[in-house]
Structure 1
Amino acid sequence: MFSRGLHELIEIFVRAWVVIGLDPNESDEIGER
């Protein structure tokens, strides 16, 4: 359960990171995926 929730938090954090645009290089890789 905990690991599952942690995974969700990480996913949300990554999405927020991309939306904020703190790291355009990372967003490019995620965009390709």
Structure 2
Amino acid sequence: VDPHAWLAATLTAIVTGHKQSQIHDLLPWNYAAKV
């Protein structure tokens, strides 16, 4: 996982209203599965 890409995507998701109940989706190992 590219740390910069992951952090940018995570911060964008938080700012745009990612649900708190689905915060586990933003973890690096879950992010890698989506990319």
The TM-score with structure 1 as length reference comes to 0.51
For the pair shown, the structure with the greater C-alpha radius of gyration is 1
Does 1:14 pair with 2:10? yes
Q: Percentage identity across aligned positions?
A: 10
Higher helix share: 1
Q: Runs ≥4 in structure 1, deviation > 2 angstroms?
A: none
Unpaired segments of 5 or more residues in structure 1?
27-33
State the aligned residue count: 21
The TM-score with structure 2 as length reference comes to 0.48
Unpaired segments of 5 or more residues in structure 2?
24-35
Give distance in 2, aligned partners of 1:22 and 1:7.
19
* Superposition CA RMSD, Å: 1.5
